[in-house]
Amino acid sequence: MKKKGKIAYISSKPYILKDTFRANIIFGLEYDADKYKKAITICELEVVINLLTNGDLTEIGDNGIMLSTGHR
């Protein structure tokens, strides 16, 4: 299957920004609700988001909550 787009290298070491859960998903890109929902669904993160106090706007990282290794 041929795909158009960009290729990225993703390290196996998780990198968590001191920011919201959502910001860690979109990683500096403009928020696009459809793409965001698709990524959340593919990664099966709905359950995790539902457990967070403020949903995907919950602060994570140094001063926020910590995620388990599996969630990173």
* In the predicted structure, residue 16 carries a pLDDT above the cut 70: yes
In a domain, 12, yes or no: no
* In the predicted structure, residue 40 carries a pLDDT above the cut 90: yes
In a domain, 71, yes or no: no
Q: Please tell me the pTM assigned to this model.
A: 0.68
In a domain, 3, yes or no: no
In a domain, 67, yes or no: no
Q: Are 65 and 52 in contact (CB under 8 A)?
A: yes
Range of the domain at 48: 19-60
Based on the structure, what is the number of domains in the chain?
1
- Is pLDDT larger for residue 55 or for residue 15? 55
In a domain, 31, yes or no: yes
Burial class (CB in 10 A: 0-12, 13-18, 19+), 58: middle
pLDDT of residue 14: 63
